[in-house]
């Protein structure tokens, strides 16, 4: 059995430090070559427990994989570096991340402000699970800052922000929301899933917590479900570490590893997603059978200026209405060949769906209902001409 070296060789140039530009950190932060074998890629530490040489003194700080696992740590350090935070935490799903955060921060009697078009799973967790534990909420359109101010209560602890939103691609002003939340003694949480850390870094804009469904762009290949939290505040990091190990909804070693593999190519994938989505949005905006195109990169988008101020580019999600109504929208969804009809988003392959009957079916009949002639695209990284041709033939 090989002993772990007492320290990394002094000359080792890569210590996994969080230095350099975005892609350098995506590829190296938390990912120094493994010290025993020199493996360049962080191994999958598929183990539940770790040998101790002395009672209570694990060799490298790891004793049990719910509390900590080296593969998960690598992912957590990489994500913390990309979001500019002190600490990252990786979970089995985006919802496990949300649940851990809310239980760490909220107590019975507390209130939160939610986006009117919050991700359905977030809304369900708060309205149907946490409501049973004495949590209350008010849902408002976050683009209306006066409405956000009016929704604050003395017991408001969290303002929850998603931007851009799903499926209408509304954009909220993160810095303005941070000021409003902090003025009321609340924290601003930003679900950064749609933008990814490459396009938008909410901590630098004043947010207190960044949340990701890493299932989407961070993982990027539709092959793993995961979630993450990133914070900069040391006390909050400690609270989250305690609640994470206590609740136990952590990412397993393999899931952490395959997510980290996605992280390495995040910047090149996002640039291609953005290139393709821009071309798709422009083509749709000119198409006679298309009504409204929702894409924050279009000059005509109502929140284009806010988006341009806080995002590097405008992302890979596009939605649009079909002029002839619901049945025509359904036909478009069923006629594409390169775009696959399916839920979820953020993978390399293009997806198309009808939110009214698929991802947003549960809000039908409520104030959050989406237009029934709406089609949502997750624009992938295929050749753009194939994507444009596919949509044109589906619309004809």
Ligand X SMILES: *Cc1c(COP(=O)(O)O)cnc(C)c1O
Closer residue to ligand X, CB minimum distance, 155 or 344: 344
- β-partners of residue 73 are none
- CB 361, min distance to ligand X, A: 15
Restricting to residues 152-181, name those near ligand X by CB under 6 A: 162, 166
Q: Is 66 assigned a catalytic role?
A: yes
Q: Is 217 assigned a catalytic role?
A: no
- CB 215, min distance to ligand X, A: 4
Closer residue to ligand X, CB minimum distance, 91 or 320: 91
Put the strands of the sheet holding 111-115 in their side by side order.
Answer: 87-91, 227-231, 209-213, 187-191, 156-162, 111-115, 136-140
Instruction: Annotate 123-134 with three-state secondary structure.
Output: HHHHHHHHHHHC
| Site mask for ligand X (CB under 6 A), range 186-205, x = bound | -----x-xx-----------
Q: Given the residues 25, 72, 187, 216, select the one marked as catalytic.
A: 216
Are the C-beta atoms of 232 and 203 separated by less than 8 Å? yes
| Residue 9, CB-side half-sphere exposure with 13 Å CA sphere | 11
Q: What's the Cα-to-Cα distance from 41 to each of 16, 131, 251, rounded to whole Å?
A: 11, 43, 18
β-pairing verdict for 317-322 and 374-378: antiparallel
| Residue 55, CB-side half-sphere exposure with 13 Å CA sphere | 0
Residues in Cβ contact with 115 at an 8 Å cutoff, skipping those fewer than 6 apart: 139, 140, 141, 142, 160, 161, 162, 165, 170, 172
Phi/psi at 356 (5° precision): -55, -40
Where does this chain touch ligand X (CB under 6 A) — which range of 2-10, 89-97, 228-236, 273-281? 89-97
Query: Could you say whether residue 120 binds ligand X (CB under 6 A)?
Result: no
Q: Is 53 assigned a catalytic role?
A: no
Query: Could you say whether residue 230 binds ligand X (CB under 6 A)?
Result: no
Q: Given the residues 63, 66, 335, 386, select the one marked as catalytic.
A: 66
Q: Is 191 assigned a catalytic role?
A: yes
Candidate residues 85, 88, 94, 167; the one interacting with ligand X per rule CB under 6 A: 94
Candidate residues 157, 216, 301, 360; the one interacting with ligand X per rule CB under 6 A: 216
Q: Given the residues 62, 91, 117, 119, select the one marked as catalytic.
A: 119
Closer residue to ligand X, CB minimum distance, 106 or 317: 317
Residues binding ligand X (CB under 6 A): 93-95, 119, 121-122, 162, 166, 191, 193-194, 213, 215-216, 225, 227
Residues annotated as part of the active site: 66, 119, 191, 216
């Amino acid at each position: 059995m090989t002993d772990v070296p007492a320290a990394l060789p002094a000359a080792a140039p890569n210590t996994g430090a969080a230095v350099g530009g975005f892609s350098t950190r995506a590829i190296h932060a938390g990912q120094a070559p493994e010290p025993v074998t020199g493996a360049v890629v962080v191994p999958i530490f598929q183990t539940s427990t770790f040998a101790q040489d002395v009672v209570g003194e694990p060799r490298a700080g790891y004793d049990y994989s719910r509390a900590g696992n080296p593969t998960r740590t690598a992912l957590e350090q990489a994500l913390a570096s990309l979001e500019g935070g002190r600490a990252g935490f990786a979970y089995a799903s985006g919802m496990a991340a949300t649940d851990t955060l809310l239980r760490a921060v909220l107590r019975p009697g507390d209130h939160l402000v939610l986006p009117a078009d919050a991700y359905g799973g977030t809304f369900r967790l708060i309205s149907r699970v946490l409501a049973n534990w004495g949590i209350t909420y008010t849902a408002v359109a976050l683009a209306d800052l006066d409405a956000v101010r009016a929704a604050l209560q003395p017991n408001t602890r969290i303002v929850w922000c998603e931007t851009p939103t799903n499926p209408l691609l509304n954009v909220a002003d993160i810095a303005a929301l941070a000021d409003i939340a902090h003025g009321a003694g609340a924290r601003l949480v930003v679900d950064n899933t749609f933008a990814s850390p490459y396009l938008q870094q909410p901590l630098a804009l004043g947010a207190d917590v960044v949340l990701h469904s890493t299932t989407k762009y961070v993982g990027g290949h539709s092959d793993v479900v995961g979630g993450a939290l990133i914070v900069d505040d040391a006390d909050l990091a400690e609270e989250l570490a305690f609640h994470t190990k206590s609740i136990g909804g952590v990412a397993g070693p393999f899931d952490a590893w395959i997510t980290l593999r996605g992280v390495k190519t995040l910047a090149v994938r996002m640039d291609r997603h953005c290139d393709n989505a821009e071309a798709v949005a422009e083509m749709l905006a000119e198409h006679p059978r298309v009504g409204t195109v929702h894409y924050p990169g279009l000059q005509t988008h109502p929140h284009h200026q806010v988006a341009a101020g806080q995002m590097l580019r405008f992302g890979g999600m596009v939605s649009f209405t079909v002029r002839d109504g619901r049945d025509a929208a359904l036909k478009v969804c069923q006629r594409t060949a390169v775009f696959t009809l399916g839920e979820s988003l953020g993978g390399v392959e293009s997806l198309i769906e009808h939110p009214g009957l698929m991802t947003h079916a549960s809000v039908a009949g409520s104030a959050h209902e989406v237009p029934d002639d709406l089609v949502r695209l997750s624009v992938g990284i295929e050749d753009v001409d194939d994507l444009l041709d596919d949509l044109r033939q589906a619309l004809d």
